[in-house]
Amino acid sequence: MSAALELINTAAGSAKTNVVGNVASIGYGLAAIGPGVGVGIIFGNGTQALARQPEAAGLIRTNQIMGFAFCEALALIGIVMGFVYQ
């Protein structure tokens, strides 16, 4: 892929563009979709579980927070990958 990026940069001539940065931002945008959907599913199903079994609120809430943390970790990894592969 780096050969293609070099070809694009040389074809641009004097108008140099930062193609790598643009690709990284698009990649992060796509990487943020998964955790966003995951967080919605976690809290939506957690709300349903709390409505069905209010006595298990502590366990359900703990599992919700752990699932949220893991989903957000994926989003943070997506941010870091944009910097790592520059």
pLDDT in tens, 16-26: 555 556 676 77
Percent of the chain's residues with pLDDT above 90: 37
Per-residue pLDDT tens digits for 4-45: 656 556 655 545 555 556 676 777 777 788 888 989 999 999
Other C-beta atoms closer than 10 Å to the C-beta of 73 total 11
Residue 57: band (very low, low, confident or very high) from pLDDT cuts 50, 70, 90: very high
> Does residue 48 register a pLDDT over 90?
yes
Contact status, residue 54 vs residue 11, Cβ threshold 8 Å: no
